Amino acid sequence: MENFNFYSPTEFVFGKDRENETGYYLKKYGAKKVLIHYGSGSVIKSGLLDRVKKSLSDSGIEFTELGGVKPNPRDTKVYEGIELCRRENVDFILSVGGGSCIDSSKAIAAGVPYEGDFWDFYCGKAYVKKALPVGTVLTIAAAGSEGSGGSVITKEEGMLKRSTGSDLLRPKFSILNPALTCTLPPYQTACGAADIMAHVFERYFTNTNNVEITDRLCEAVLLTMIKEVPKVIENPLDYDARANIMWAGTVAHNDIVGVGRSQDWNSHAIEHELSGLYDCAHGAGLAVVMPAWMEYVCDHNVMRMARMAVQVFGCQMDYENPKETALKGIAQFRRFLHDIGLPVNFEELGAKCDDIPTIAKNMGIEGTTGGYVKLTTQDVVNILTIAAKASV
Ligand code: NZQ
Ligand code: ZN
Q: In what order do the strands lie in the sheet with 173-176?
A: 11-14, 173-176, 134-138, 92-97, 33-38, 62-66
What residues are paired with 137 via a beta bridge? 96, 175
Closest atom of ligand 1 relative to the 268 alpha carbon: 48
What pLDDT does residue 355 have?
97
Q: State the distance from the centre of ligand 2 to the C-alpha of 62, rounded, in angstroms.
A: 33
List, as ranges, residues with CB under 5 A of the ion ligand 2.
195
The conformation of residue 75, written as its DSSP 8-state character, comes to H
CA angle 302, 338, 333 (to 5 degrees): 20
| Ligand 2 centroid, distance to 144 Cα (angstroms) | 8
Tell me the average pLDDT across 364-374: 94
Tell me the ligand closest to 150's alpha carbon: 1
Q: Are 109 and 151 in contact (CB under 8 A)?
A: no
The answer to whether domain 11-180 and domain 186-388 are alike in fold is no
Measured CA to CA, the distance from residue 187 to residue 204 in angstroms comes to 25
Is 184 close to ligand 1, i.e. is its CB under 6 Å away? yes
Specify whether domain 11-180 bears CATH 3.40.50.1970. Answer: yes
Q: Among 10, 40, 42, 200, name the best residue to mutate to test ligand 1's pocket (greatest count of ligand atoms within 8 A of Cβ).
A: 42
- pLDDT tens digits for 290-307? 999 999 999 999 999 999
Q: What is the reported pLDDT for 233?
A: 97
- Any ligand 1 atom below 6 A from CB of 72: yes
Rg (alpha carbons) of the chain, rounded to whole number = 20
Which ligand has its closest atom nearest to the C-alpha of 141? 1
Report yes or no: 147 and 12 within 8 Å, Cβ to Cβ: yes
The mean per-residue pLDDT over the stretch 50-62 comes to 98
Atom of ligand 1 nearest to the CA of 198: 48
The pLDDT value recorded for residue 183 is 97
Q: What spacing in Å lies between the alpha carbon of 208 and ligand 1's midpoint? A: 32
Pocket test of ligand 1: the residue of 140, 154, 268 to mutate, having most ligand atoms within 8 Å of its CB, is 140
Collapsing DSSP to helix, strand or coil, 368 comes out as coil
Could you state, in order of their start, the residue ranges of all structural domains in the chain? 11-180, 186-388
Of ligand 1's listed atoms, the one at least distance from the Cα of 72 is 39
* Closest residue CA from atom 29 of ligand 1: 99
Q: Establish whether residue 164 lines the binding site of ligand 1, counting it when its CB lies within 6 angstroms of any ligand atom.
A: no
| Atom number, ligand 1, closest to the C-alpha of residue 181 | 19
pLDDT of 274 reads 97
**Cβ–ligand 1 contact at 96 (below 6 Å):** no
Q: How far is the CA of 391 from the centre of ligand 2 (A)?
A: 22
What is the model's pLDDT at position 19? 98
- Could you tell me if 51 and 179 are in contact, meaning their C-beta atoms sit under 8 angstroms apart? no
Q: Are 196 and 142 in contact (CB under 8 A)?
A: yes
CA distance 308 to 304: 6
Q: How confident is the model at residue 215 (pLDDT cuts 50, 70, 90)?
A: very high
Res. 325 pLDDT band, cuts 50 70 90 = very high
Report d(CA 385, CA 271) in Å as an integer.
14
* Percent helix / strand / coil, the chain, rounded to 5: 55, 10, 35
Q: Is there an atom of ligand 1 within 6 Å of 189 CB?
A: no
Q: For residue 183, give the ligand 1 atom closest to its CA.
A: 17
Whole-Å CA distances, 372 to 125, 293, 366: 26, 11, 17
Identify the CATH class of 186-388.
mainly alpha
Residues 349-364, mean pLDDT to the nearest whole number = 96
pLDDT given for residue 231 in this prediction: 98
- The pLDDT assigned to 127 comes to 97
pLDDT tens-digit map of 12-36: 999 999 999 999 999 999 999 999 9
Q: State pLDDT tens for residues 135-159.
A: 999 999 999 999 999 999 999 999 8
C-alpha 193/C-alpha 190 separation (Å) is: 5
**What is the DSSP track for 90-118?**
--EEEEEESHHHHHHHHHHHHHTT-SS-G
Q: What does the pLDDT read at residue 237?
A: 98
Centroid of ligand 2 to alpha carbon of 199 (angstroms): 6
Distance 283 CA to ligand 2 centre (A): 7
Tell me the residue type at 26: L
Whether 301 and 261 have beta carbons less than 8 Å apart is answered as: no
Mutate to test the pocket of ligand 1, among 145, 175, 197 (most ligand atoms within 8 A of CB): 145
Quick one: which of 3, 151, 127 has its CA closest to 77? 151
The pLDDT assigned to 156 comes to 95
* Residue 41 burial (CB count, 10 A): 12
Task: Give the residue-averaged pLDDT of 44-57.
Answer: 98
Query: What is the spatial distance between Cα 49 and Cα 34, in angstroms, rounded to a whole number?
Result: 14
Nearest ligand, measured from the Cα of 281 = 1
Q: What value does the mean pLDDT take over residues 368-385?
A: 97
Q: Tell me: the pLDDT tens digits for 166-205?
A: 999 999 999 999 999 999 999 999 999 999 999 999 999 9
3-class SS of residue 161: strand
Ligand 1: residue whose CA is nearest its atom 31: 99
Ligand 1 atom, smallest distance to 38 CA: 4
Is there a contact between 142 and 152 (Cβ–Cβ < 8 Å)? no
* Residues linked to residue 173 through DSSP beta bridges, in sequence order: 11, 135
What pLDDT does residue 180 have? 98
pLDDT band with cut points at 50, 70 and 90 for residue 392: very high
pLDDT in tens, 86-101: 999 999 999 999 999 9
- Tell me what the pLDDT averaged over the chain comes to: 97
Distance of CA 226 to the CA centre of its chain: 18
Find out whether the beta carbon of 143 lies less than 6 Å from any atom of ligand 1.
Answer: yes
- For residue range 310-324, what is the model confidence (pLDDT) as tens digits? 999 999 999 999 999
Distance of alpha carbon 74 from alpha carbon 160, whole angstroms: 10
